[in-house]
Amino acid sequence: MRKQWQIFWHILVWVSILSFFFYIIYTSHKLSIANMIVIVFGYGGINIGLFYFNYLSLIPRFLDQNRYGKYILSVIATIIIIGVGKYGVGLIFREFILVEKGVQISFWSYFAGTIFTSLLFIFLSIVLKFTVDWFLNERIQRDLENQRLTAELSFLKSQINPHFLFNSLNSIYSLAYQKSETTPEAILKLSEIMRYMLYESNDNKVDLEKEIHYLQNYIDLQKIRFGYKAFVDFEVQGEITSQRIAPLLLISFIENAFKHGVASDPESPIKMQITVTDGHLDFHIENKKHTNNRDASGGIGLANVKRRLNLLYPHKYQLDITDTPQSYTCNLHLVL
């Protein structure tokens, strides 16, 4: 279908150009319709043939292959042949082509005029060829870039599941090791979380309501791990309607808060707040840090989420992190 449209537009352009010249010559020279057809469509057909001969044959065969010498020789030979051919046609219709004010135009004078016309159509075909190639290369580069970004996003997202599962299993292992009665409940929570991660977060965007529910499940799982002695203030403000967000985007911040923060101090609870207003989301989290924190790097989580933000929300987010030896604060502003 795309090729058919290309042919259609080529035909439309040439018919429009030939019709324009037909009108100009007819109104200025008052020739017969038969003579006009010979001049405009006959010679126009020759020039159009030169255009496509250069576009479809000479450029791909020589110019695209960097065979510049052979291309120039081919163009010169083609111009000579076209000039001689046009003069031959002129001899057939001598009266209204080669005779001007009662005097016949000489071969060399007529041939010199055909050189300019031929060079013009060759130049136009070169411009079209390089313009089409440029747009084609741009589209190919965009497609390749989109494929690369899609592959990178898939890889980044694939890191989240093992990372999350590793941390959660460690938590459940601790409960099982302590023979806690909350182990079955923790396993059930983990099952709900994994169901969401495996089946409901495969799209580029998910409902914000589902994502928040997923975060709440994770927080509940951590509270079970702490024996319901984890002090967490999790608040959602604003009206949650049909907003959508990239899945698993905020979980890394919350994971790090539990991993490196102090959740057992009622005086310094982990504070989390999500505020939704007019298509914007503000996420705030702060926590007191362990004094004996051995893993200050935060693992792969934060590096992962920062890269995903750059890919999914370019120029549509602002991330401010304040990391001190005593506390950690993160503010994320997101245009949904």
Instruction: Kindly report, residue by residue over 233-259, the tens digit of the pLDDT.
Output: 889 998 888 889 888 888 888 888 887
pLDDT at site 306: 83
Above 50 in pLDDT, residue 140? yes
Of all residues in the chain, what percent carry a pLDDT higher than 90? 6
Domain shared by 27 and 119, yes or no: yes
Enumerate helices (H) and strands (E) in the chain, giving the number of each: 10, 9
At 55, the amino acid letter reads: Y
Angle at 157 between CA 155 and CA 162, to 5 degrees: 95
Of all residues in the chain, what percent carry a pLDDT higher than 70? 80
Into how many domains does the chain fold? 2
- Report the 10 Å Cβ neighbour count for 297: 10
Euclidean distance between CA atoms 40 and 35, whole angstroms: 9
CA dihedral in degrees (170, 175, 179, 185; nearest 10)? -120
- Domain with 305, as residue range(s), is 180-335
Over residues 252-300, the pLDDT tens digits come to: 888 888 877 777 777 778 899 999 988 899 999 988 887 665 454 444 5
Q: What is the mean pLDDT of residues 111-129?
A: 87
Domain shared by 229 and 289, yes or no: yes
Over residues 144-174, the pLDDT tens digits come to: 666 666 665 565 565 555 666 776 777 778 7
Two tokens at 168? 């959660």
E-state strands within the chain: 99-100, 103-104, 206-207, 232-237, 244-245, 270-277, 280-288, 317-323, 327-335
Q: Evaluate whether residue 164 is within a structural domain.
A: no
Angle at 121 between CA 116 and CA 124, to 5 degrees: 125
Please state, rounded to an integer, the average pLDDT across all residues of the chain: 79
- Of these ranges, 120-129, 201-210, 263-272, the one predicted with the greatest mean pLDDT is 120-129
Domain shared by 126 and 187, yes or no: no
CA dist 316 → 153, 187, 216, 334 (Å):
17, 37, 25, 6
pLDDT at site 156: 59
Q: Evaluate whether residue 199 is within a structural domain.
A: yes
145, 45, 49, 32: which is closest to 93 by C-alpha?
32
Domain shared by 295 and 234, yes or no: yes
Euclidean distance between CA atoms 281 and 64, whole angstroms: 51
Q: What is the mean pLDDT of residues 315-332?
A: 88
Domain shared by 137 and 185, yes or no: no
**Residue ending a domain, choose from 93, 113, 141:** 141
Domain shared by 46 and 191, yes or no: no
Q: Are 281 and 243 in contact (CB under 8 A)?
A: yes
CA 53 to chain centre: 35
Q: Evaluate whether residue 216 is within a structural domain.
A: yes
Of 74 and 291, more confident: 74
Quickly list H helices, 178-281: 183-195, 208-225, 251-260
Q: Evaluate whether residue 159 is within a structural domain.
A: no
253, 245, 260: which is closest to 305 by C-alpha?
253
E-state strands within 142-290: 206-207, 232-237, 244-245, 270-277, 280-288
Over residues 29-60, the pLDDT tens digits come to: 666 666 667 677 777 888 888 888 988 888 88
pLDDT at site 143: 67
Q: Evaluate whether residue 162 is within a structural domain.
A: no
Q: What is the mean pLDDT of residues 179-204?
A: 78
Euclidean distance between CA atoms 168 and 35, whole angstroms: 88
Q: Evaluate whether residue 150 is within a structural domain.
A: no
Q: Evaluate whether residue 88 is within a structural domain.
A: yes
pLDDT at site 297: 42
Tell me the three state secondary structure of residue 318.
Answer: strand
Q: Evaluate whether residue 154 is within a structural domain.
A: no
Above 90 in pLDDT, residue 303? no
Above 90 in pLDDT, residue 333? yes
pLDDT at site 296: 46
Domain shared by 250 and 128, yes or no: no
Domain shared by 102 and 28, yes or no: yes
Two tokens at 72? 């120039």
Q: What is the CATH number of the domain that holds 227?
A: 3.30.565.10
Phi and psi at 190, nearest 5°, equal -65, -40
Q: Are 239 and 276 in contact (CB under 8 A)?
A: yes
pLDDT at site 147: 63
Name the pairing type of β-strands 232-237 and 270-277: parallel
| 305-311 long-range Cβ contacts below 8 angstroms, 24+ apart | 305/249, 305/250, 305/252, 305/253, 307/152, 307/156, 308/153, 308/156, 308/157, 308/246, 308/249, 309/249, 311/149, 311/152, 311/153, 311/156
**Residue ending a domain, choose from 141, 161, 192:** 141
Q: What is the mean pLDDT of residues 61-76?
A: 87
Q: Are 271 and 285 in contact (CB under 8 A)?
A: yes
Of 228 and 323, more confident: 323
Of 46 and 99, more confident: 46
Domain shared by 299 and 198, yes or no: yes
**Residue ending a domain, choose from 83, 116, 141:** 141
Domain shared by 137 and 188, yes or no: no
Domain shared by 202 and 312, yes or no: yes
